[in-house]
Structure 1
Amino acid sequence: MNITHSVEKIEKLLGIQGSADGDNSPGQLTGPLIERVATEFNKLQFYVTRSKGHPLVYKVKPRIATITTTLQYSLEGSFLSGLETGKTGMLRQCLRTYALIDKTHDAEDLFREHVVRPFMEEVINEDFLAQNSNELSAMFKEVLTFVPEKCSVLSNITSGTSGGDIVRGYDFVVNAVFPEIISCLEIRTSNIFAPGNPDIFHKKYTACMQFLDELESQCGSQASVKRLRQHPSYQALMNKWSLPIYFQIRFQDIATRFETALCYGFSNSSGSNGFHLNSTAMMWECLKECWDQEIYLPALLHRFVKLNIQLLSRFKTWLDEVYQEELARKTESDVKQRSSTPDRLRSSPSFDSSARSTSPVPKPTSSSATDSLPQQQPLTTGQTVALMADIDFLYRKIDELFDSNIKPRLAEIGVEITESVKESLMACVTAICDCCPRFWAMVTEDVVKQCSGYLTQVNDIPRLYRRTNKEVPTKPSAYLTGVMKPLSRFCDEHASSLSDQQKREFLSQVFTALAQQFCEVTSEVLVSTKKMEESLRRLKKARGTDKDKEKAGGVTDSDKIRTQIIIDIENFNSQVSKAVVDLLFWVAY
């Protein structure tokens, strides 16, 4: 009975059965009458739900459908009229009625179809972009004018800023404006999502993200922003941007340039970033490039951090390969030199091993070598020093890179593990620095080899005094004048390349090695002289001639040899002391 009574009452209010005067025809329903009908309709729905399955429900179902259609038709007319005239009272009445019959989405769909869509179709299209130099930001700027100009009345009603009662349950920006924008973008300007040109893609993606930020500021509340980000259209928009493809293009570009630089890794850098070699200069540029405003995207932060780590790790691997090649080349060279070079040439003071630092020997051609890659030539001392200087510079610069480029990017998106990221980068740089001692050993060995080439002439001292009747020596040997020349030349050439710490460590290693070698060679000569002296003494004793010599009390040849060695040792110590003083100024310089 309640169902029948409610249906008849609504039909009478709507005039569906037709009144005599026609005052209550469907097209002439006033706001209060619509709300009254909606209240009664709500009761009817309640009764129908409770009586589900009853034969009476099936009997009145066509009449309920007619009531629903008539009510919605009346609501549509009033709502659209209110939108056109801007009458706040009428709109509030309609919105309240839609909410009463649980049809809030119908109102949002009406607004989207009759107000949002015509505006967006006029703005979001290829012609508009062409008229604005394909500037996506110009199109989005125009789109953003819609909410304050066309949606403000509804927003005021649903937020309570208009002064009347708040009509809750609506979000026209999220449920009507935003989906229509995304639909138009996908259908009418689909070319904007193409990732083929990374520079254009970056520019358009950035413009879109800025648009979303500004649209969120128009939502009016954090709850509305949350609904916007959870809307299916939001995720659909994000999926349209092919970020993995964009990153892959950037990755290939950066990695290719870096690998090409490693092929010519020891060429001089043409840049002005403070690095000496092409390899380290290019690595630094690639590291920074990942965080450039025109390349970096917040959504790809983790990938760019990983790329930084990969670049540093690749450089470490390259250093290992270079060292192993040099080690193999040196071993092969030493074997050939021992088998083909006379001893007198290797010990001659005219043999200048510093030629390696100025005129590198080309690598022998190999039948298995590919023509596309350059032949790796032996490292020169200058190249090795430049490499060590660059690695030291890199260690100091990585902090600058993190603080000025990476850390702000992490803060932008709220990443809290900044120290972990920094530790990962520093671990890679530390691994690179751990390669330095091996390369420094090569430099030290090269310089020591040049210096010690003169020290081998200590072996000539016995020959100069044995059975030559020369006077007792009072001056150092001539070979000592050249001992420190290679070291001084090295210091002059590389004064500006090395840090103070590198200079101190290098000098300590060179002086220690030279002192040890000089000690060894003089000890060998003294031991040999002693043995020769004892052998001669035994021979003279056997001949009975030693007593006459002892009576004479003259200086023996062995005494002259020992005297010369003592003078040479004192002179060597003096040169080292002087060199230390001079080179301390070099360190300070």
Structure 2
Amino acid sequence: MRADVSSSKPQSQHPAFDLEQFAETRLEEGKDLDALHLELSQQLIKVRRELHNLIDLRYEDFLGLSSSVAGIDTTINDIKQPLTDLSAQISEVHTELASKLEKIDARIAYRQAVRDKKHMLRLFIDLSQLLDRVNAVLSEAEQQLRASDNVGALAEHLKGLERAAGEFSQARYFVEKGGAYPFILQAAERMQEQEERLHAALDAFLISRIDEYVLAQSKGRMEPDSAHMGLLAQCLRTYTTVGEYERAEALIRERLVRPMVSEIFGGQPGKGMGLDPAVLSSMFQTTLDFIRHVGAPLARGISAHLPGCAATLEAHVFWREISATILSALPLLFVPGMPDRFHKNYLAACDFVRQFSALFNTLDRYPDLLASDESYVEFHRKWQLSAYFSIRKKQLTDAIDPRGQAESVLDQAAVDRILGELGLSTQLAAQALWAIRRCWAEDVYLEPLAPRFWQLTIQIILWYHHSASDALKVLIRSNADEELTAVDQLLAHIHDMFAFKQMCFDHIDSIRALLPTTEQALDASSISDSLKDAISQAFEPSDDAAAGAIEHISATIVAASCANLASQLRRTTSQFRHTNRAAPKSPSAFVSKLFAELSAVELKITSQDTLAMLRTQVCLGISREIARVSIEALSTISKTEASLHRLRKTTNRASHLDHSNDLPVPPGVDLRGTTPASDNDKIRRQIWLDVTETGRIITDSLNATAHEDYEHLVQLIVPLGT
């Protein structure tokens, strides 16, 4: 059995596995040992998977084979041994290749180190050559300057300096990249000496050109020589090459600008405190003349050869020196101890800045260069505008506050003119309007403070409201005791409240013209509407107070006009009761006198708004009272008539009227188209005439409306008409 199995052992159809050939093939394909190891591992996993699948498919045969086949251990050893040998060979190859890679990496690192040293050596050589060339160029430039002093020699000298500056800039770059090598440190020391020589040569050249320019301008030459301006531009460009443009600007400030502005602004007593505006304006004008004849031509001449230079000279040279001199020589100029002078000096400074910018004509191409300069921002920040506003606010509030007028700046003559010219009647309104006008007066208002002055305007309006409201309350309390004695003063305050509001509205256009404008600003109508809305909101409390005062006056007029109304109706009853008088054909005389008090008060009113409001309130009150009294009188007549009929035990009509109770017009009474015969009907007709006449006066003469109670009464007494 075993012999059969052994004789049936399958023969291998594949050649023997050659490890060296396998590894060499894979390495030629570009695979390293790790990839080779990974490939073998994957192949091993694949073989194991196939073996497991085969065992699963023919498990019974596998068990039988394992129990029947002889020499299986030998077969396994035969299979295991090549694999073990292969693994050992792979490890040897991996170790050998790793050793070779380490040698290769070491050689590469060595080559890189050699390359770096070679590069550094080249840098040393180039740096040495650059420094030698700088020395040579500087020496040559100095010889050219000593040879002659004409424009050509100066140009050659400057060209040499420019070449030296270029070489020096490159050498400085090499030094910065060279590290801390001894040669680099020695080169840096050598460069220090060359930098000093270069700076000295450039400074001497720039100073000589500036001095020559000043000398030429002092002789009346308006436009500078183009050749000299070209040399100056080239000199500034050379400063830029070595990164020392600010050094050049400082030299120009020191040599050209500082002597002049120090002479203009220096030596002022008091460090500028309360400086006379005329003196400051003269200083500014002298400075502008200097800029116009010296500074601006220089900037234009250099800018023709070096574009953009005019803006930097304007901001960094001329403005910085001027502002620094003013800040140091006149530090108290910016303190608003004397607000009137401070205001004029600030406006003079703003005008000076505008004219200064216009002289250089750089706003179109460089609009933000000067405005963003630190010295420009600091100059404007130094002006103590907040303190100035606080002083002005205190002056105005003290002027209109009775407690502060002893030491106020109130211009009583101006207040009196306002009272006379504008028709105001009260000091409160005139003072408030004067204060608002002062907020926006040309000798008080400053554009940067526009929001604060607008806020102060609203505060003055609110102050006027509180003051006028308090005055109205006092007058109303006194009027309660003295009847109409305080009406004139009430009307004066009411008139001024409406007039003051309208005057503030009329002042909006002049205020809007003073407000600062921007590119994003709203159109004029929108700004005016916004300001008017703000004023309307501020006046809402005043409108309510005025309406309350008008209501009080109207109540007083109604009370005085209707005080005898009940007795007048009783007199009407007595005129027709048992007198056998003819039926009435015209209203009673007292009706025309109901509005006599109103007419007397109207003569004192000049405001149409006040007149309309007062008429409305009085007409409502009088019509309400006449309706109430008339209904009471008619009801009394009905009661009396019903009582008499009950006593007489009358028939149908009496019994019908008996049920009328106190109705103003009992059922069955209809006087239309007839002449009243009974005394009661005559009285009813007279009341109807009086009521309708009152309505006619209200609607036709006074153009007002009656109370709803009156309208209800008219509907009730329709049967009493003709």
TM-score, normalised via structure 1 length: 0.76
Letter in 1 for 2:232: L
Determine if contact 1:95/1:167 at 8 Å carries over to the other structure. Answer: no
**CA separation of 1:43/1:167 partners in 2, compared to 1, >3 Å: closer, same or farther?**
farther
Q: In the aligned structure 2, how far is the partner of 1:133 from the partner of 1:208?
A: 10
* Aligned partner (choices 262, 274, 277) of residue 426 of structure 2: 277
Determine if contact 2:311/2:366 at 8 Å carries over to the other structure. Answer: no
1:404 counterpart = 2:404: no
1:231 counterpart = 2:373: yes
CA deviation digits over 1:105-131, x for unaligned, max 9? 111100111110100011113559999
Helix, strand or coil for the counterpart of 2:442?
Answer: coil
Shift of 1:167: 7.7
Determine if contact 1:262/1:279 at 8 Å carries over to the other structure. Answer: no
Corresponding residue for 1:347? none
Helix, strand or coil for the counterpart of 2:422?
Answer: coil
Determine if contact 1:34/1:75 at 8 Å carries over to the other structure. Answer: yes
1:120-199 paired onto structure 2 within 5 Å: 120-127=261-268, 134-160=278-304, 164=305, 166=307, 171-199=312-340
**CA separation of 1:482/1:152 partners in 2, compared to 1, >3 Å: closer, same or farther?**
closer
Q: In the aligned structure 2, how far is the partner of 1:572 from the partner of 1:167?
A: 91
CA deviation digits over 1:422-467, x for unaligned, max 9? 4323322345334443222112112111211231323643884699
1:308-457 paired onto structure 2 within 5 Å: 308-318=457-467, 321=470, 356-357=483-484, 359=485, 380-411=486-517, 415-416=521-522, 418=527, 419-457=529-567
Shift of 1:214: 1.4
* Aligned partner (choices 686, 702, 708) of residue 567 of structure 1: 686
Name which of structure 1's ranges 169-178 and 114-123 shifts more when overlaid on structure 2.
169-178
Shift of 1:250: 1.4
**CA separation of 1:32/1:327 partners in 2, compared to 1, >3 Å: closer, same or farther?**
same
Letter in 1 for 2:425: H
Structure 1 portions without partners, runs of 5+: 338-354, 360-379, 547-557
Letter in 2 for 1:433: D
Name which of structure 1's ranges 272-281 and 439-448 shifts more when overlaid on structure 2.
272-281
Q: In the aligned structure 2, how far is the partner of 1:125 from the partner of 1:488?
A: 74
Q: In the aligned structure 2, how far is the partner of 1:80 from the partner of 1:167?
A: 22
**CA separation of 1:241/1:518 partners in 2, compared to 1, >3 Å: closer, same or farther?**
same
Q: In the aligned structure 1, how far is the partner of 2:488 from the partner of 2:684?
A: 34
Corresponding residue for 2:252? 111
How many residues get paired?
513
Corresponding residue for 2:604? 493
1:201-212 paired onto structure 2 within 5 Å: 201-212=342-353
1:1-40 paired onto structure 2 within 5 Å: 1-15=125-139, 30-40=157-167
Determine if contact 2:426/2:493 at 8 Å carries over to the other structure. Answer: yes
Q: Percent identity of the aligned residues? A: 20
Determine if contact 1:108/1:172 at 8 Å carries over to the other structure. Answer: yes
1:56 counterpart = 2:218: no
CA deviation digits over 1:362-401, x for unaligned, max 9? xxxxxxxxxxxxxxxxxx2223333333333344434322
Corresponding residue for 1:258? 400
Letter in 2 for 1:11: N
Shift of 1:199: 1.4
Corresponding residue for 1:364? none
Q: In the aligned structure 1, how far is the partner of 2:256 from the partner of 2:402?
A: 57
Name which of structure 1's ranges 389-398 and 196-205 shifts more when overlaid on structure 2.
389-398
Determine if contact 1:454/1:480 at 8 Å carries over to the other structure. Answer: no
Shift of 1:183: 1.6
Please tell me whether Structure 1 or Structure 2 has the larger radius of gyration of its CA atoms.
2
Q: In the aligned structure 1, how far is the partner of 2:317 from the partner of 2:354?
A: 18
Helix, strand or coil for the counterpart of 1:293?
Answer: coil
CA deviation digits over 1:272-312, x for unaligned, max 9? 23433222233223223222211111111111122222223
Q: In the aligned structure 1, how far is the partner of 2:423 from the partner of 2:255?
A: 63
Letter in 1 for 2:188: K
CA deviation digits over 1:188-242, x for unaligned, max 9? 1223222122211111111111111112223332354412111121122122211
Shift of 1:39: 2.1
Name which of structure 1's ranges 204-213 and 396-405 shifts more when overlaid on structure 2.
396-405
Shift of 1:322: 5.3
Q: In the aligned structure 1, how far is the partner of 2:603 from the partner of 2:462?
A: 33
Determine if contact 1:147/1:173 at 8 Å carries over to the other structure. Answer: no
* Aligned partner (choices 281, 288, 296) of residue 437 of structure 2: 288
1:522-537 paired onto structure 2 within 5 Å: 522-535=630-643
Determine if contact 1:112/1:177 at 8 Å carries over to the other structure. Answer: yes
Q: In the aligned structure 1, how far is the partner of 2:648 from the partner of 2:403?
A: 72
Higher RCO (CA-CA < 8 Å; seq separation 6+) = 1
1:479-558 paired onto structure 2 within 5 Å: 479-480=590-591, 482-494=593-605, 497-499=606-608, 501-535=609-643
CA deviation digits over 1:308-332, x for unaligned, max 9? 22223334444555566667777xx
Determine if contact 1:455/1:480 at 8 Å carries over to the other structure. Answer: no
Determine if contact 1:454/1:479 at 8 Å carries over to the other structure. Answer: no
Q: In the aligned structure 1, how far is the partner of 2:615 from the partner of 2:293?
A: 76
Q: CA RMSD in A?
A: 3.9
Shift of 1:474: 6.2
Q: In the aligned structure 1, how far is the partner of 2:196 from the partner of 2:181?
A: 23
Q: In the aligned structure 1, how far is the partner of 2:134 from the partner of 2:641?
A: 139
